[in-house]
């Protein structure tokens, strides 16, 4: 504990002992000055005041010094005695009372000073404690801040990782669709070639065919657009980019997904039946991620039915609006007529690296589910009548309805 500090003026012994000297001197001078005007003025009260002040200010020592100086001053007749002509002995009782008074005042002064010191000490301690607590709090605060920053960066890292994972899974999926993609690009390219060759024939047989050549050129432009649209779709699906929500129509999403997978679906002799409710609300979601989810479900269903007899080689895709606790929701359902899901497998279906396919990574469904959940929805296996499996993605509806 540090020694409590009072005002520096009180601490200095020189000042403490200088005060009685000055005070008594001042009292004696003032008394003499007053007596020169009026001889009836008594000297003692002012000296008494000086002694009391000294005792209060400086404690017992300065008080006694002031008393001694006052007594000396009276004894030496520097100040006229209270009753003129009386001897020092006669004044003794008065001096004793005077000294007791000094003692008393200096005792009170001491107590007061002590109390003040205690108060000061307590205040200082309090201040120190407050400073300490403040330091502690600011330390805790900075720790909290760094923890928050750490958590935030961990969350960001997780998000980035999920995006990366979704991207990898998407690219893997595109790998499964290469035949389809090649076909979709080759069709318009083949058509362009046919038109070009037809044009050469037309030109070779004379200029009267200009109108036909013009028609062919127009169609070439149309087919070039078709090819570049296919490539743009593929590029968008294979791109690695942050989530970007937009207003999407379920029909557009489905058309795009089926356009990409069409050839694979046909090659397996699979029929796709779509059933979209009229006036379906729009989705507020990331286009590429939604396509990924739908494409994944469609591919899974397609592979589930490919070994089935022709009449069962069918998948049904439907979309409905439904009122749920969180407002209007869109329910997209992909259902196949394949062998269905073994109830024992159902729980593990959404676990990472769990696959029932020989070449499967086991990432499709878990990633699809995380995408749907990141959009505030749910993706699950739902019971269906008859043979086969049905998956349902429930997503909150955005603003606007399908035109």
Partner 1 sequence: MNGADSIVYVVDDDVSSRQSLEFLIRASGYTVRAFPSSRAFLASPRPEMPACLVLDVRMPGLTGLELQGELAKMGVRLPIIFITGHGDIPMSVQAMKAGAVEFLTKPFREETMLRAIALAIDRDRVAHRDRLEMAELRRRHARLTPRESEVMASVVTGLLNKQVAAELGASEKTIKAHRGKVMQKMEAASLADLVRMSEKLGANA
Which residues of the chain form contacts with partner 1 (CB under 8 A)?
A: 179, 182-183, 186-195, 197-199, 201-202, 209, 212, 215-216, 219, 223, 226, 263, 266-267, 269, 271
Q: Which residues contact 238 (CB under 8 A, 6 or more apart)?
A: 167, 170, 171, 174
Shortest CB 389 distance to partner 1, Å:
23
Rounded Cα–Cα distance for residues 67 and 339 (Å): 117
> Least distance to partner 1 from the beta carbon of 403, Å?
24
- Measured distance CA(402)–CA(395) in Å, rounded: 15
Q: What would the DSSP string read from start to end of 81-109?
A: -SSTT--TTTTHHHHHHHHHHHHHHHHHH
Residue 292 Cα to chain centre, angstroms: 30
Q: Cβ closer to partner 1: 216 or 234?
A: 216
Least separation in angstroms between residue 252's CB and partner 1 is 19
214-221: long-range contacts (C-beta < 8 A, 24 or more apart)? Answer: 219/191, 219/195, 220/192, 220/195, 220/196
Q: Name which of 115 and 196 has its Cβ closer to partner 1.
A: 196
Choose between 161 and 193: whose C-beta lies nearer to partner 1.
193
Residue closer to partner 1 by CB (options 251, 262) is 262
Report helix, strand or coil for 76.
coil
Task: Name the residue among 249, 223, 174, 205 with its Cα closest to residue 402.
Answer: 249
Q: Which is nearer to partner 1, 35 or 271 (CB)?
A: 271
Closest CB 198 distance from partner 1, rounded Å = 4
Of 71 and 301, CB closest to partner 1: 301
Find the angle CA(163)-CA(168)-CA(174) to the nearest 5 degrees: 125
- Considering the complex, what minimum distance in angstroms separates the CB of residue 311 from partner 1? 13
Q: What is Dmax (Cα atoms) for the chain? A: 162
The three state secondary structure string of 217-282 is HHHHHHHHHHHHHHHHHHHHHHCCCCCCEEEECHHHHHHHHHHHHHHHHHHCCCEEEEEECCCCEE
CB burial of 194-220 (b: ≥16 within 10 Å; e: otherwise) equals ebeebbeebeeeeeebeeebeebeebb
| Pair 272, 315: CB distance under 8 Å | yes
Contact (Cβ atoms closer than 8 angstroms) between residue 345 and residue 356: yes
Q: Please identify, using beta-carbon distances, which residue of 180 and 292 lies nearer to partner 1.
A: 180
Kindly tell me which of 139 and 200 has the beta carbon lying closer to partner 1.
Answer: 200
Q: Are 380 and 333 in contact (CB under 8 A)?
A: no
- The conformation of residue 325, written as its DSSP 8-state character, comes to T
Query: Which residue number, 272 or 285, has a Cβ lying nearer to partner 1?
Result: 272
Measured in whole angstroms, the distance separating CA 149 from the mean position of its chain's CA atoms is 8
- Half-sphere exposure of 306 toward its Cβ, with a 13 Å CA cutoff? 12
Please, which residue, 157 or 267, has the CB nearer to partner 1?
Answer: 267
CB of 254 to partner 1, least distance (A): 16
Closest CB to partner 1 among 10 and 219?
219
């Amino acid at each position: 504990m540090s020694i409590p500090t009072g005002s520096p003026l009180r601490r200095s012994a020189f000042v403490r002992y200088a005060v009685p000297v000055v005070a008594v001197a001042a009292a004696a001078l003032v008394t003499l000055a007053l007596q020169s005007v009026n001889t009836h003025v008594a000297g003692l009260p002012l000296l008494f005041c000086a002694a009391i002040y000294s005792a209060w200010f400086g404690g017992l020592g300065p008080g006694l010094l002031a008393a001694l100086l006052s007594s000396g001053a009276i004894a030496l007749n520097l100040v006229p005695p209270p009753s003129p002509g009386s001897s020092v002995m006669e004044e003794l009782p008065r001096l004793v009372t005077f000294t007791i008074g000094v003692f008393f005042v200096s005792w009170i002064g001491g107590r007061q000073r002590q109390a003040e010191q205690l108060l000061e000490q307590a205040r200082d301690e309090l201040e120190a404690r407050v400073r300490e607590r403040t330091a502690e709090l600011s330390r805790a605060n900075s720790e909290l801040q760094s923890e928050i920053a750490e958590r935030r960066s961990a969350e960001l890292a997780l998000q980035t990782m999920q995006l990366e994972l979704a991207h990898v899974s998407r690219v893997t999926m595109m790998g499964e669709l290469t035949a389809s993609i090649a076909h979709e690009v080759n069709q318009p390219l083949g058509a362009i070639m046919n038109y070009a060759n037809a044009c050469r024939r037309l030109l070779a047989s004379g200029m009267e065919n200009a109108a036909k050549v013009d028609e062919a050129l127009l169609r070439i432009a149309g087919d070039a657009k078709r090819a570049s649209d296919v490539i743009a779709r593929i590029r968008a699906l294979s791109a690695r980019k942050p989530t970007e929500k937009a207003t999407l129509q379920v029909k557009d999403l489905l058309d795009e997904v089926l356009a990409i997978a069409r050839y694979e679906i046909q090659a397996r002799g699979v029929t796709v039946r779509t059933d979209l409710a009229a006036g379906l609300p729009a989705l507020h979601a990331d286009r590429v991620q939604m396509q990924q989810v739908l494409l994944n479900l469609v591919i899974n269903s397609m592979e589930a039915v490919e070994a089935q007899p022709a009449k069962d080689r069918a998948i049904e895709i439907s979309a409905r609006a439904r009122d749920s606790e969180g407002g209007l929701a869109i329910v997209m359902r992909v259902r196949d007529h394949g062998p269905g899901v073994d109830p024992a497998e159902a729980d593990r279906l959404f676990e990472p690296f769990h696959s029932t396919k020989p070449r499967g990574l086991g990432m499709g469904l878990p990633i699809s589910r995380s995408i749907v959940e990141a959009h505030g929805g749910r993706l699950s296996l739902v019971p269906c009548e008859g043979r086969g499996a049905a998956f349902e993605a429930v997503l909150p509806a955005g603003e606007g309805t399908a035109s």
